[in-house]
Amino acid sequence: MKRVGFLYDDVFLLHEMPAGHPESKDRLIAINESLRRSALWDKLVHLKPRKAAKRDILTVHKESYYEKLLGYTGYYDADTYVSKHSVEAASYASGAVIEAIQRCKTGELDRAFCSVRPPGHHAEADRAMGFCIFNNVAIGARYAQGLGYKRVFIADFDVHHGNGTQHTFEDDDTVFYFSTHQYPHYPGTGHSSEKGKSGGTGFTCNIPMGYGSGDEEYREAFGEVLPGLVEEFCPDIMLVSAGYDLHVKDPLAGIGVTDEGVRTIVRSILLAGKTIPNIFCLEGGYNLVSLGESVKITMEELLYCE
């Protein structure tokens, strides 16, 4: 059995949304309840996240954006809401990834799951977007490099393309960004021709999925394409943008991945990054039942996939 950290704090529930918003605190409550009902809960190493320092956040975001957020309340864009405690929650969400990376570095953990909100992969250097305030995984990647992990592989299976993550690293050959996502769909980026820029060309791989794609298309992407890319890139650490809105029951998209499909994706990622730390960070997932079940499946694989 692997040593698997589960990073969570009630501070994430303080990020309040207007009534009816799909990105609600009920998502994390559903995950906790699903894991508590299973035998997995007691096998996990339960850890509190730290709060990301401003200097960590500024490795990805512009200071002008950070300053603008302080004291900001209301809609930042059409669907991204900032409440009184949102920046605090977002700082801890990024801090969870940082904490998990640090614990892997010291050898305390092999793998981790950061059960956080707000999510991060749409957040750009200079703006909040798509329910995301700080780009948790991107901040984690820069922190990991500061700790000595030179080459970072980011796998993103959220049903939406992680525009913010791609843009952060598109000219960087030390961070590989691999994404599957429904296409065309929000946010509009993620065409297969987007492969990185200048020195980072060839270090971004987008696999767009047509409406109605399901387990077989994802098995090909994660079981057949991903392993070769990871082998060639030879990363020191793997960060995963784990978005469960690719599930067939999810209300925000049109992809048909089943519970078993989720298991195959997670297992394929873990097998591709067998010898290195794997840190999963929650992104989307808006059907509370399938979200709880998908994270439970993820934790089973994190614990037992050798």
Q: Contact residues for Zn ion (CB under 5 A)?
A: 158, 160, 243, 245, 284
Distance of closest approach, residue 34 Cβ to Zn ion, in angstroms? 19
Whose CA is closest to 265, among 302, 212, 228?
Answer: 302
Cβ-in-10-Å burial (0-12, 13-18, 19+) of 15 comes to buried
Dihedral sign of CA atoms 304, 44, 109, 131 in order: positive
Which residue in 15, 61, 121, 122 is the catalytic one? 122
Distance of closest approach, residue 260 Cβ to Zn ion, in angstroms? 21
Smaller CB separation from Zn ion, 139 or 246: 246
Task: Say which residues have a Cβ less than 8 Å from residue 190's Cβ, sequence separation at least 6.
Answer: 161, 163, 166, 179, 181, 183, 206, 208
Smaller CB separation from Zn ion, 158 or 293: 158
Smaller CB separation from Zn ion, 89 or 104: 89
Distance of closest approach, residue 187 Cβ to Zn ion, in angstroms? 10
Q: What's the CA gap between 268 and 231, in Å, rounded?
A: 13
Tabulate helix, strand, coil % of the chain (nearest 5). 40, 15, 40
Smaller CB separation from Zn ion, 145 or 298: 298
Residue 131 region, left (φ>0) first, then alpha (ψ -120 to 50), else beta? left
State how far the alpha carbon of 228 is from the alpha carbons of 215, 217, 231, in Å: 20, 17, 5
Give the CB-nearest residue to Zn ion: 284
Distance of closest approach, residue 122 Cβ to Zn ion, in angstroms? 8
The yes-or-no answer on residue 15 being catalytic is no
Residues labelled as active-site residues: 122
